[in-house]
Amino acid sequence: MDTCPLCALPHTPGDLAWSSQHEPDGGVFWICPTCTRAQLWLIEAGMTIATRHAPAPPLPRAA
């Protein structure tokens, strides 16, 4: 059974709230809704890294 790689929550097949993530080597893993929200910027960074330009991860702006 697939589990969330971040919190080890078991993935219920067909649960559309989970996000499928494709690795560069062709593998696929699933991230639970809670971790999807927490790691959203990482996911976006990962998708962007696949392009020619890899921007620095977002940093909190100092007030």
Tokens of 45: 């960074």
Q: Map residues 1-40 to x or -, x wherever contact with Zn ion holds by CB under 5 A.
A: ---x-xx-x----------------------x--x-----
Nearest to 58 by CA among 45, 43, 48, 39: 45
In terms of CB distance, is 27 or 63 closer to Zn ion? 27
Instruction: Using CB atoms within 10 Å of the CB of residue 11, give its burial: 0 to 12 exposed, 13 to 18 middle, 19+ buried.
Output: middle
Nearer to Zn ion, 9 or 45 (CB): 9
- Site residues, Zn ion (CB under 5 A): 4, 6-7, 9, 32, 35
